[in-house]
Structure 1
């Protein structure tokens, strides 16, 4: 039986993801090693497999050497039809140092220069979505290239200049930004870029940053960590970002507490109630020895986040270095926007229910206060805490003696990792040959504890020596945070036929919560279409870019860039501001559906003499067809009647389709009461998207939770990108 191409595409996508996230062998060539395994397994099966393999391997281009980049450029020259598949150009793992070469020798080798890089960008201008640079290629980014990356007219949605701080790059970057202006006014605005990374670009002037940000009104993810941005720029130059979800202001030495608090109190990017989103990821880490923050200012910042609803969506919060106010008085008072209390940690526990990663680095918090913070609340009125990662580095109370008491590890069911300083971590690491500590979860709802009924959990040591020697303790499980990572990958196994057994060795899943840099891109392959649709703002299903619904290869043109602002959900509606005498008559008239329809189509000249007809923007109406192209979601594409008919005998899912209202106006199908076949057994699971469904298997519930986390945190999957995100 010939599999439909959309099924082949989904299956090979997951296989490609597993192989590319394989961390073995542990060297820069692992990407190409795993890529060869994937191609040898699938490339020569049939034409459909061949085409899907081309789509997957050219969609994400990871350059580890200048020679590899030039070979790829030659391939694109000879085969122009491959250009349309290129979506991500990742230079963050590239390095030309080594192999006996010097900087001068590299300049004479014309593999990666500003000319070859410009040729690559020009060839892929119609398909490239992400450009991830680093300090290794900052010398090759001339004014023409930087201006091309930042100006409107392309479909580039993610641009990252992480670590580029050379003086020559700064001069070139400033000149490129100035070309975006004419007579101190922007020539045009870039409505396509949604993610901008300037992490560790320390030498770019604050005025230049302000001029650039003013031209990017559609930013969703903004990384300004360790830059020279100051109070004036953050308050006056950042535009009204209606979709801002990720923001990093960590280690910005020119920012003062007053400027940060004014930004979170008055700037429309974080205070406008009509914004389409609220913050999900926030990093305001400071250096404790040079910071002027006080615990009162930190509490004011947290209250501002609650005032504008960010506490209801925030999943990552880094307040490392900011002083906490700790007190024994844990009395609580309910206000309009938050639960009021004096203790900072207790305030976070009460008011940030969806928080999954919290950094309170450089704060001395006693162990009993941490235990109280991690213990679940015995209250039906307050949402349960879901914290999974806690950073307590440089906490004097967490030392080699107190870490042996597993109280911190035994009071939270959701906690899966803790980052500590070296001394307490070393104590656990040297305590036994397995480098682990075992404890039982404490049931806080009962006074009498039965150890035989408590769940036994194991915590293991993990070190990130290449990330600035960060030290973690993580709770092991069978899937996401396996306890045998340190023993895998050293031996090569073969089956009885002499074939090599390929083992997929992945980094622990908790590392995504430990990041300090925003993961801007969508990764090697999409794990969740939500992140891709938000970042790229695609209007069609990804598979429809490569296949037509009649099984042929798609030849349609690439997606055009967004040149005008995207209207928020809603439509204009007529309202009749009537006089009090007419209110009773209008109420009776509005009860009739026919009269209600007449309200939308009425002529203003027919209005009563004492009434006023006006327009207002109704956000409850979600039709965007007038301002955007026709939208076709993944489910709409895959649930096409013709496709359903062709694969009716190959259906993995069986159930009833229920048409719901799509959030942006079109019909969307949802599977309910569905069964999933696994061999001879049949397990009932609900795939409606609710991870709390009682009839759902633990594996699928975990899958949904990881997919939702991917939308916010991304994933730690490639070498240098992982290094930048986790380094201290």
Structure 2
């Protein structure tokens, strides 16, 4: 975690509300010593304390609130207050339009705060449920293309912009131009679920003016009517791109092959459900011959197919698996291919020994699942179409590798299985996000009480500590195994210190609509 300590001049600015001008460095140093002598520590050490508090999760909270600890530290003294300011404004996460507008007004009143903003996050944003009509919402000018653009202009150090379908109508050509041309530190852009006339035509005349060496993560996940030709003006200018999500977009393999910068080395890519991807030979040519995809840096590959479209036959799958050079692959999704069979499992276990998540939902039923035991790091398996009866589930659980913590089964079994299954003294729990998901998983638990704690994660009740009066979410356990089941490339750069978060999404970066698209579609 990089330290983002404000200068002494910044401290003075935020404390007094105005900038003090000094004739020389000696006067400035004396001023600092006289006004910030309330603690024996240097600013650098204090900043480390604040940084630790910012990234410290409260185990009694279901969802991380980065500002909770800062509010307490800001009450210590003026120095701590000033040090906490950069972290308070580092990550802007917005649920309602009034929250965004209040944030924007603060930046307009104190433009110096804008340089501390690193993230604008709209993945939980919604205007639904406020008892307002569409016409009323259109008249509320809190969040519009003008206010979003103004916010971008006030945040020159922005590193990630996480949009969503909730603000798709407010994305304008000016905003898109600003994102790709005017923010020198921007690393991540995500337009998850966005579609519609305004959004689509915002890219019509987009031109990335210069080589953009900063953008590393780009997502158009489920942007179903996105004009894929716009990628021709974007991708060649992104030589350091690492993550690309084109799930359920009308992208064409030949256009993508011509557009991807050959100098970039992708670590994550999703071409899931791209029904217009083109002929099999074009698709294979892209995956095997393009250096940005077929390289040893690739760790996350999603090629999920629409079951009704036979994109890859058995021979093509064999050829693809044998010629992929990504031997460090940790995630592989080949769902929807009806001709995948036991011989393909043999190749997968031999060629990709580091796999932790494997999705082969339509694997032929006569295949020997015990082959998966050769994958020593395997933690998640999706065999949904095979595991369609209780005996089939029990049989697989009896012989599955000991490293596997969760499996995905057919969703129709959710109401047919007991909440707890015991197979060979191992307890397994059925999980479907409290009935909210179209997908169903079974995962290991240590006891019935342990299973109950997972149920409580979806309990909306709030508890209070009798002794301290502090609010908490009660006892619970987070279903962390779901990170292996995600179908969405994580384009958030927000790190929380969780294991494998540079490969799989952490619990902070998949919330709201992003969680829905990753797990429930």
1:143 Cα deviation after fit: 0.9
Partner of 2:53: 12
1:237 Cα deviation after fit: 1.9
Match of 2:379 among 380, 384, 388: 388
Contact residue 482 and residue 508 of structure 1 kept, 8 A: no
Could you tell me which runs of 5 or more consecutive residues in structure 2 were left unpaired when the two chains were aligned. Answer: 1-38
Q: Could you say if the C-alpha distance between residues 283 and 171 of structure 1 is closer, same or farther in structure 2, counting changes exceeding 3 Å?
A: same
1:426 Cα deviation after fit: 2.9
For residues 280-302 of structure 1, the C-alpha deviation after alignment (integer angstroms, 9 at most, x for no partner) is 10001111112232111111111
Q: Could you say if the C-alpha distance between residues 389 and 116 of structure 1 is closer, same or farther in structure 2, counting changes exceeding 3 Å?
A: same
Partner of 1:420: 409
Contact residue 408 and residue 439 of structure 2 kept, 8 A: yes
Q: Which has the larger radius of gyration?
A: 1
Match of 1:196 among 218, 221, 228: 218
2:292 corresponds to 1:269: yes
CA distance in 1, matches of 2:284, 2:165: 32
2:505 corresponds to 1:724: no
For residues 445-498 of structure 1, the C-alpha deviation after alignment (integer angstroms, 9 at most, x for no partner) is xxxxxxxxxxx53211211368642111111259xx975121365462433465
Match of 1:520 among 483, 491, 510: 491
Which SS does the other structure have where 1:460 is aligned? Answer: strand
Contact residue 394 and residue 421 of structure 1 kept, 8 A: yes
Which SS does the other structure have where 1:77 is aligned? Answer: helix
1:58 Cα deviation after fit: 1.5
Counterparts of 1:320-719 in structure 2, within 5 Å, are 320-326=335-341, 343-366=343-366, 369-370=368-369, 372-375=370-373, 377=374, 384-395=375-386, 398-405=388-395, 407-428=396-417, 431=418, 435-440=419-424, 456-464=425-433, 468-476=437-445, 484-487=453-456, 489=459, 490=461, 492-496=463-467, 498-500=469-471, 503=474, 505=476, 507-523=478-494, 526-528=495-497, 706-707=498-499, 709-717=500-508, 718-719=511-512
Contact residue 410 and residue 439 of structure 1 kept, 8 A: no
CA distance in 2, matches of 1:79, 1:719: 30
Which SS does the other structure have where 1:240 is aligned? Answer: coil
Q: Could you say if the C-alpha distance between residues 192 and 504 of structure 1 is closer, same or farther in structure 2, counting changes exceeding 3 Å?
A: farther
Partner of 2:164: 134
Q: Could you say if the C-alpha distance between residues 83 and 288 of structure 1 is closer, same or farther in structure 2, counting changes exceeding 3 Å?
A: same
CA distance in 2, matches of 1:317, 1:364: 17
1:423 Cα deviation after fit: 3.4
CA distance in 2, matches of 1:494, 1:81: 39
Partner of 1:542: none
Aligned residues: 473
CA distance in 1, matches of 2:412, 2:214: 47
For residues 163-220 of structure 1, the C-alpha deviation after alignment (integer angstroms, 9 at most, x for no partner) is 1110232112212x2x44xxxxxx4221111111011112223322222212222210
Which SS does the other structure have where 1:259 is aligned? Answer: helix
Partner of 1:570: none
Q: If the length of structure 2 is used for normalisation, what is the TM-score?
A: 0.83
Partner of 2:187: 157
Which SS does the other structure have where 1:484 is aligned? Answer: helix
1:10 Cα deviation after fit: 4.3
Could you tell me which runs of 5 or more consecutive residues in structure 1 were left unpaired when the two chains were aligned. Answer: 25-30, 181-186, 328-342, 378-383, 441-455, 529-705
1:409 Cα deviation after fit: 4.9
2:317 corresponds to 1:278: no
1:45 Cα deviation after fit: 2.5
Which SS does the other structure have where 1:159 is aligned? Answer: strand
CA distance in 1, matches of 2:397, 2:92: 43
1:12 Cα deviation after fit: 0.2
1:116 Cα deviation after fit: 1.1
For residues 21-71 of structure 1, the C-alpha deviation after alignment (integer angstroms, 9 at most, x for no partner) is 9336xxxxxx7xx56753554331344543454333321111111111001
Partner of 1:688: none
Contact residue 221 and residue 248 of structure 2 kept, 8 A: yes
Partner of 2:29: none
2:108 corresponds to 1:108: no
Aligned-residue RMSD, C-alpha: 2.7
1:324 Cα deviation after fit: 4.1
Q: If the length of structure 1 is used for normalisation, what is the TM-score?
A: 0.61
